[in-house]
Structure 1
Amino acid sequence: MANIASQKKRILRSERERLENRRHTSAIKTQLRHLQAAVEAGDADGIAAAHTKFTSLVDKAVKSGALHRNTGARKKARAARLVAKAS
């Protein structure tokens, strides 16, 4: 454990930031599973809604810094390919 007060604060802050990043990435993974389930079910309305929600979550994660922008673009491209294959 750190002895310096500013380092103690930094440890606490980095833990909060790590948990925030985990919330973003976990929500993205969950929404991707919903999208895949909608594609397998063949529900056109469900696919559109899930894809919109997924891209929104990815964009928010990139904006907040939880994901690198190239990672976000890759995830969105893979999701778009999944949706296009279902159509």
Structure 2
Amino acid sequence: MALHCLSASSSCLSISQRLKSLSLSCSGKSLAFSANVAVATLPKAGMSMRAMEKESSRRGSSIVCMAAPKKVDSAAKRARQAEKRRIYNKSKKSEMKTRMKKVLEALDELKKKAQAQADELDPVEKLIAEAYSAIDKAVKSGTLHRNTGARRKSRLARRKKAVEIHHGWYTPSLVSA
């Protein structure tokens, strides 16, 4: 069985340079060499073969295939890395959102209380510290942009200040210039 490979003339030259022990005839765009040598040598030379169609010839059946440089699995590796990062980033974002949600719910409850005391703000401040930590970790790992992290921390601080103003625990001072 003979193996015929179709390739561009520049590829013929690169194949013949890589495979000096083979006798290759490069006429136009086609190559011809024996199947057992091609199968044994081309994968080692960094070439991949892909069967395109089967033909019948006078000498028996032959396989028409493309000889092209073997692609490195860099795209597959990048896909695996991207999936790992996606899962890691998703967990960081989920943790941050959960902590922020707990802070906002605690502040809403505190704001709705009619007779709330200032010392009831201490557990909320601990929740805020945990949320700040989660936001800072997300920024540090590159999951969030630093401006996004700053905006979210500011949002929590403004909400806390609104609760303090609502209950009269904090009075903003007017600064005149």
For normalisation by structure 2, the TM-score amounts to: 0.46
Question: Aligned partners of 2:72 and 2:162: how far apart in 1?
Answer: 55
Matched, 1:55 2:132: yes
% same residue? 36
Per-residue deviation, residues 59-82 of structure 1 (Å, max 9, x unmatched): 000000000000001001001101
Gaps of 5+ in 1: none
Question: Aligned partners of 1:32 and 1:16: how far apart in 2?
Answer: 25
Task: Specify the SS of the correspondent of 2:144.
Answer: coil
Task: Specify the SS of the correspondent of 2:84.
Answer: helix
Superposition pairs for residues 3-82 of structure 1, below 5 Å?
4-42=72-110, 43-82=120-159
The structure with the largest alpha-carbon Rg is 2
Question: Aligned partners of 1:4 and 1:86: how far apart in 2?
Answer: 58
Aligned length: 85
Letter in 1 for 2:152: K
Please tell me the root mean square deviation across aligned C-alpha atoms, in Å.
1.2
RCO higher in structure (CA 8 A, sep ≥6) = 1
Letter in 2 for 1:34: K
Question: Aligned partners of 2:126 and 2:89: how far apart in 1?
Answer: 24
Q: CA deviation at 1:4?
A: 3.6
Q: Which aligned runs of 4 or more in structure 1 are off by greater than 4 angstroms?
A: none
